[in-house]
């Protein structure tokens, strides 16, 4: 009787979740139709009716993401907080990046416990309720924090790629400034040339060049660049460029010194990684390689000794 109640409860929960999604989709569709009618009436022509069908689907998808994201979006002015900056540093700058992120968080938080409950109901219906509740809470926590882990991993991957390519970019800046280009032209030129080595770094410097063209000051654009990338090496480079621009010192010589310092740091990081390799090899050596070698070397002797004692 308890198993039957458990199965009925799981079925009702799944049906309620499906009805919730269908209701949200229907509500979004009705709102979209009302918005289309208002646009048609206000325009007084058929221009709004001739909108492509892909744009309609895109608007519906955006509304669905917005509705799903409201369940996990934080309170307050989060768009101007560190959370928005995390999206930028991870490379997600689209208009629907935040809605997609919070929608995925909501779906994973609700879907993972429900799927686990259905699987447990099918394969192990005798599971006690406290253990089932523990599984549900654990999977909900995993689904809630899994997008955060992915966001942090994307940020670290981008930072590592830009850190390794930054000395080459500074060498290109040195060449451009010594060839007679100004700092603004050098940044624009380097953003095009460095794309062969690192598209991420080229995109960031291209944004800085666009900010300078749009009328923002060079110091402001460089500080925004350092804020988006969040690298210690780039912070030092930006500070050096700002000071050189303020005091009128030689930019090419300062860039050359900065490039040498960054190359030395990159070599030190490579040496540190190489020094960690023997320590990391201890675990596979002890647990996998040494037992195989011992079995090959000592195995025949053990077999012979055991056969001698058996006789």
Are 65 and 8 members of one domain? yes
Does the pLDDT of residue 306 top 80, yes or no? yes
What confidence score (pLDDT) does residue 57 get?
A: 42
Direct distance between the N- and C-terminal alpha carbons of the chain, in angstroms, rounded to an integer:
64
For residue 154, tell me if it sits in a domain.
no
Rounded Cα gap, residues 83 and 95, in angstroms: 15
Are 123 and 173 members of one domain? no
What confidence score (pLDDT) does residue 11 get?
A: 62
Rounded Cα gap, residues 245 and 218, in angstroms: 9
Q: Give how many domains the chain has, as a whole number.
A: 2
Are 112 and 8 members of one domain? yes
What confidence score (pLDDT) does residue 238 get?
A: 86
Which has more confidence, 39 or 209? Answer: 209
For residue 196, tell me if it sits in a domain.
yes
Classified as helix, coil or strand, 29 is helix
Are 6 and 123 members of one domain? yes
- Each residue of 85-106: pLDDT tens digit? 888 888 888 777 777 788 888 8
Are 122 and 175 members of one domain? no
Are 39 and 98 members of one domain? yes
Token digits of residue 56: 């309609």
Are 9 and 122 members of one domain? yes
**Which backbone phi and psi does 8 adopt, to 5 degrees?**
-65, -40
For residue 301, tell me if it sits in a domain.
no
For residue 168, tell me if it sits in a domain.
yes
Are 95 and 209 members of one domain? no
Among the residue ranges 36-45, 129-138, 237-246, 257-266, the one predicted with the least confidence is 36-45
Are 122 and 164 members of one domain? no
CA 226 to chain centre: 18
For residue 297, tell me if it sits in a domain.
no
pTM for this predicted structure: 0.64
For the chain, state the CA radius of gyration.
30
- Each residue of 194-234: pLDDT tens digit? 888 888 888 888 888 888 888 878 888 888 888 888 888 88
For residue 296, tell me if it sits in a domain.
no
Are 24 and 97 members of one domain? yes
For residue 83, tell me if it sits in a domain.
yes
Are 264 and 164 members of one domain? yes
Range of the domain at 205: 160-277
For residue 13, tell me if it sits in a domain.
yes
- Each residue of 105-155: pLDDT tens digit? 888 888 888 888 778 877 777 777 788 788 888 888 888 889 889 989 999
List of residues 6+ apart from 207 with CB closer than 8 A = 225, 228
* Mean pLDDT on 15-41: 65
């Amino acid at each position: 009787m308890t198993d039957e109640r458990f199965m009925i409860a799981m079925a009702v929960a799944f049906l309620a979740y499906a009805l919730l999604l269908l209701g949200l989709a229907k509500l979004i569709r009705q709102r979209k139709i009302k918005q289309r009618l208002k646009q048609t009436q206000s325009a007084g022509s058929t221009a709004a009716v001739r909108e492509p069908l892909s744009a309609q689907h895109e608007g519906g998808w955006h509304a669905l993401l917005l509705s799903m994201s409201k369940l996990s979006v934080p309170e307050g002015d989060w768009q101007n907080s560190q959370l928005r900056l995390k999206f930028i540093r991870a490379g997600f700058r689209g208009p629907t990046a935040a809605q997609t992120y919070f929608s995925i968080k909501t779906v994973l938080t609700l879907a993972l416990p429900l799927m686990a409950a259905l699987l447990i109901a099918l394969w192990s219906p005798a599971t006690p309720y406290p253990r089932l509740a523990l599984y549900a809470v654990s999977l909900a926590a995993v689904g809630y924090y899994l997008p955060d882990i992915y966001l942090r991993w994307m940020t670290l991957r981008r930072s590592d790629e830009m850190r390794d390519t930054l000395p080459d970019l500074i060498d290109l800046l040195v060449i451009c400034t010594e060839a007679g280009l100004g700092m603004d032209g050098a940044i624009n030129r380097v953003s095009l040339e460095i794309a062969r080595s690192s598209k991420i770094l080229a995109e960031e410097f291209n944004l800085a060049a666009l900010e300078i063209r749009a009328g923002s000051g060079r110091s402001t654009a460089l500080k925004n660049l350092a804020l988006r990338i969040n690298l210690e090496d780039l912070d030092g480079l930006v500070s050096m460029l700002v000071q050189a621009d303020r005091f009128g010192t030689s930019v090419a010589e300062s860039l050359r010194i900065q490039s040498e310092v960054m190359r030395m740091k990159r070599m030190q990081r490579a040496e540190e990684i190489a020094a960690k390799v023997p320590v990391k090899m201890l675990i596979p050596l002890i647990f996998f390689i040494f037992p195989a070698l011992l079995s090959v070397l000592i195995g025949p002797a053990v077999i012979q000794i055991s056969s001698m004692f058996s006789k």
